[in-house]
Structure 1
Amino acid sequence: MAVELKPLKPEDAIKALFARSQSLEQSFSWRDVYADEQARAGTVAKSAGYDILSDIFEGLLKALAEGRTSRDFASELTPLLQAKGWWGRKLVEDPATGLQRPVQLGSASRLAFIFNVNMRVSYAAGHWSSFERRKHDRPWLRYVCVLDDRTRPEHRLRHNLCLPVDHPYWDLWAPPCGWNCRCTLQSLSDRDVQRMRSQLKFDPPPNDFVTWTNKRTGEVRSIPRGIDPGWDYNPGKAGANLVAEKASEEKRADLLALLRQPG
């Protein structure tokens, strides 16, 4: 008798996305909620003034939990966003200046972009949780590129870079390292490293830092060339830390509730 096996849900990724969905923050530009702040709060650029964030993140959670595609996500969400007026090009007030600006709100390509970014960040957080749990047996991480003509040269340079899980290099160079970055990290055991030693690199390339100014906030940052502004942090580690913090808060709340019960 054949046994049907159902794929397991990506529980760690779901926890990471759920944790971000608990702190939704409206923004006008992606520069308003920057880098690791985005790992702690769910946000969508040009959402200021529209009640659509909870709808988008509920749709993302459903898609992740049920293994749905970007097309499924968009088809279910589009009518709701259109009904709320968050669709097409419109004049929208920029909260920072009070001026009206023509901006692109919802569209099919915009929803595909939102889906892609949030799924990559959520999976990165789920993977990092796994890296931390298993680093006693699998203490190494390998940087892996998709080697085609779309790969950034700086990312290609780091393909097969192998460093310990706790190495500070991963604080900056941990995928996704930019918009539409398809790189990943793979955990390896000592035995894996010995088997693959001839193809691995153990000396990280030096960072060539460039200066970038956030036009929304005035903040000046030094960012390694090859990492897009807004991605100069470790998305997976930040998301995994948020999940751990939320779990700790829940445990403290449960303990306090227990202590307050009449004896």
Structure 2
Amino acid sequence: MKIQMVKLDFQKTPQSIVDYLKNKQLTLTYNHYELLKQAHDKAFTVAKVTRMDLLNDIHSSLIEAIKTGRNFEAWKKSIIPTLEKKGWWGTQEITNPKTGEIKKVIINSNRLKKIYTINTRVAYQKHRYEEMMKLPLSTYWMYRCSFLENSRERHKAMHGTVLHRDHEFWIENYPPNDYMCFCGVTAHSESDLKRRGLTPTQGKIQSIATEDWAYNVGKNTNVAALKKINLDDSLNNLPILNKVKDESLKNLDFNGLKNKFYQALAIKEGDIFIDKTNDPITITDDFFKSLDYIKVRNKGRELYIIELANALKDPDEIFLQFEALKNKSDKYVDENSRVVKKFMKYYKTEAGAKRALIVLVEYLKDKTTGISAYVIDSQGAVETKRVEKLIYKKD
């Protein structure tokens, strides 16, 4: 009986590939080296993207592209209008929100090609690794170089090398082994190797992966979807809301209250605050007033002003909420909708009912700024606010 080399069917996008990319946690970075090796497996990031709404746009569009089998050109055509609207296209000066450093960067088709290729390539290679590991007899793997114009010499030299799948080489060198590496691996049985006259290589093999890629994208990755905190299970451990109330704040005027908020964040009015997702937020008194209407004393929220700052600084969960606008507004990138970021911190009453503090910010064309901050004093309302896309959960 003729023994065929094991082949895997990639005509349809397996759900595990879609889920892998979908479950990666959105992470803002200015430089690519801020995330090292395996950290990239669980984080979705694009260097020099410094706003979470834009990173979410790119992430969501890539998920849709993989799900529907959309190639690079089709994806590029769909995402460029969004990038143009949000000022992330062409030659741009982008500021590092943490350091103030400004770099001139070029965002063009080549940059998008790298974003598309790296993310889709890793997702497919992870799936292929998992499928090959399930094959009971095909335990020998052959390294395959793509022999493209930009293929590295070290990768070419490895072409055709056969190693057992448990060989230590694969710990750091299961492809991709560098940016835009298109090398692959095929699985073979022992009888298939004999028929082909191939002999597995023994002993130590020199690593060919660059430092950033010296890990196994298949073996090290098990990305679970970010799930909301189970407040029912953790209720006993939640702090009591009344105990974080500060009665000494009730006699302060508006300026005194907002200064307490700024002091708790260790910033001045108008400064940039970097949240848990590395998102820069411009801190003003918009959290506590709407136009000329002062809302800081609504329902006693002034007594929680310091704890509201803590909710922004150290939230239990962060959500992105996407809202359609009843009236068009040129404040936003899309005149018909806006993106709101919700910071949630959880508490309970003495009787054991759920409560929360919530801080809201919105993404404008040129900055991210506050909308409101208040107490959620209804158990039902706590859960209704925990909707849309969860992007952060406290460990």
Segments of structure 1 that go 5 or more residues without pairing to the other structure are: 1-5, 208-223, 257-263
Per the alignment, do residues 85 and 204 of structure 1 end up closer, same or farther by CA in structure 2, a change over 3 Å counting?
farther
**Structure 2 counterparts to residues 235-250 of structure 1, below 5 A:** 235-239=217-221, 241-242=222-223, 246=224
For 1:150 and 1:91, locate their aligned partners in 2 and report how far apart those are by CA, in whole Å: 29
Q: Given that residues 139 and 188 in structure 1 are in contact (C-alpha distance below 8 angstroms), is that contact kept between their aligned partners in structure 2?
A: yes
* Shift in Å, 1:59: 1.2
Change (3 A) 1:197 1:204: farther
The Cα of 1:87 is off from its aligned counterpart by 1.6
**In the TM superposition, what are the counterparts of 1:51-200 in structure 2 within 5 Å?**
51-104=53-106, 106-134=107-135, 136-147=136-147, 150-198=150-198, 200=199
Q: Distance in 1 between matches of 2:182 and 2:44?
A: 21
* Counterpart code for 2:29: S
The two structures, once aligned, show a CA RMSD in angstroms of 2.4
- Find the structure with the greater CA-based Rg: 2
Task: Give the distance between the partners of 2:66 and 2:27, measured in 1 at CA.
Answer: 21
Q: Deviations over 1:83-113 (max 9, x none)?
A: 1122222222224532222223x32221111
Instruction: Output the amino acid matched with 1:81.
Output: L
1:209-220 equivalent positions in 2, closer than 5 A: none
Deviation per residue, 1:135-156 (Å, 9 max, x gap): x232121111123553322112
More helix by share: 1
Tell me if the contact between 1:139 and 1:165 (Cα under 8 Å) persists in the aligned partners: yes
SS in 1 for 2:134: helix
Q: Is the aligned partner of 1:230 residue 2:230? A: no
CA distance in 2, matches of 1:39, 1:187: 23
Q: CA deviation at 1:122?
A: 0.5
Any idea what SS the aligned residue of 2:175 has?
A: coil
Counterpart contact for 1:131–1:187, Cα < 8 Å: yes
CA distance in 2, matches of 1:173, 1:235: 9
Query: Are the aligned partners of 2:169 and 2:204 in contact in 1 as well (CA < 8 Å)?
Result: no
CA 151–204 in structure 1, closer or farther in 2 if over 3 Å, else same: farther
Deviation at 1:184, TM superposition (A): 0.3
Amino acid paired to 1:231: W
Call closer, same or farther: CA 1:204–1:124 in 2, change over 3 Å: farther
In structure 2, distance between residues paired with 1:111 and 1:91: 17
Q: Provide the C-alpha distance between the structure 1 equivalents of 2:149 and 2:204, rounded to a whole number of angstroms.
A: 21
Are residues 204 and 178 of structure 1, via their aligned partners in 2, closer, same or farther at CA, if it must alter by over 3 Å? Answer: farther
TM-score, with length taken from structure 2? 0.51
Q: Secondary structure at the match of 2:219?
A: helix
Q: TM-score, normalised by structure 1?
A: 0.75
Equivalent residue pairs, number: 220
> How far apart, in 2, do the equivalents of 1:148 and 1:49 lie?
35
Cα separation, partners in 2 of 1:27 and 1:148, compared to 1, 3 Å: closer
C-alpha contact (below 8 Å) 1:51/1:84 kept by paired residues = no
Q: Structure 2 counterpart of 1:12, which letter?
A: S
Residue identity matched to 1:130: E
CA gap 1:129/1:202 in 2 versus in 1, 3 angstroms:
same
The AA in structure 2 aligned to 1:138 is: S
| Structure 2: gaps spanning 5 or more residues | 1-9, 234-395
How far did residue 237 of structure 1 move? Answer: 2.2
Residue 339 (structure 2) aligns with: none
